[in-house]
Amino acid sequence: VQLSNMHIGIHMLNSRETKDGHAVISVTITVNGKEHLDAIISRLSKISGVISIDRAAS
């Protein structure tokens, strides 16, 4: 998965470990519209170990 060439502006990244040993990672990014966001979510979903991806309200 190569997100580096998708022109994503990363503004914030936070992570924490849950009680059951999982990691929760929150990332704030800039995208160029819904199609760009959909492509990014699709690529992230293909990463082994990713359980879910949620979009927060903007």
10-56 per-position pLDDT tens digit: 889 999 999 999 999 999 988 899 999 999 999 999 989 999 999 88
* Structural domain count of the chain: 1
By residue range, what is the domain housing residue 12?
Answer: 4-45
The pLDDT of residue 35: 94
Q: Is the pLDDT of residue 57 over 80?
A: no
**Is residue 22 domain-resident?**
yes
**Is residue 25 domain-resident?**
yes
Alpha-helical runs (H) found in the chain:
34-45
The pLDDT of residue 16: 97
Query: 58 or 50: whose pLDDT is higher?
Result: 50
**Is residue 56 domain-resident?**
no
Facing residues of 25 across strands? 15
Cβ partners under 8 Å of residue 3, min gap 6: 40, 43, 44
pTM: 0.77
**Is residue 54 domain-resident?**
no
